[in-house]
Amino acid sequence: MNSPRTKFYRDKVNSKWMGVCAGIADYTGVNSIWVRLGFVGLIFMTGGTILPFYFLTGLLADKKPPHLYGDRQEQQFWQGVRQSPTRTAREVKGRLRELDRRLAEVETYYVTSNPRLSAEIERLR
């Protein structure tokens, strides 16, 4: 998984401050409000010792490229890849299997109703 779409980025477009919480939200697919509330909770639970990690992440992480995803569906797909690559691969394999089945049905329909096409396909095999 060395695609630029599977890497963590700070999200400056949806950020409130440095974009770290928005980047975590984008990376995990969780709503950014929950990530921000969780971070505030962590600040209180750790007595503020989490803040240097926030600043380091804000300084070291790359900014999210402006056109990383084509649309919302592509963004959800890549979030799924980051969360569970094997499940996403299974889903893609299932979709391709369904497309192959549907294409075979179309091919069968046209071949059985067109003997000339059927003979041409058999000749090519």
CA separation, residue 98 to residues 43, 111, 120 (Å): 48, 20, 26
Task: Note the pLDDT of residue 3.
Answer: 65
DSSP class per residue in 82-104: HH-HHHHHHHHHHHHHHHHHHHH
Query: Are 24 and 37 members of one domain?
Result: yes
Query: Are 2 and 42 members of one domain?
Result: yes
Task: Note the pLDDT of residue 41.
Answer: 92
What tens digit of pLDDT does each residue of 5-28 get?
666 777 766 667 888 888 888 788
Query: Are 11 and 57 members of one domain?
Result: yes
CA separation, residue 58 to residues 3, 40, 54 (Å): 21, 16, 6
25 CB neighbour count, 10 Å cutoff: 19
Mean pLDDT of the chain: 79
- Containing structural domain, residue 105: 85-125
Query: Are 26 and 58 members of one domain?
Result: yes
Task: Note the pLDDT of residue 34.
Answer: 92
What tens digit of pLDDT does each residue of 33-88 get?
898 999 899 989 989 888 888 888 888 887 777 777 667 777 677 777 776 777 77
Domains in the chain, number: 2
d(CA 22, CA 87): 25
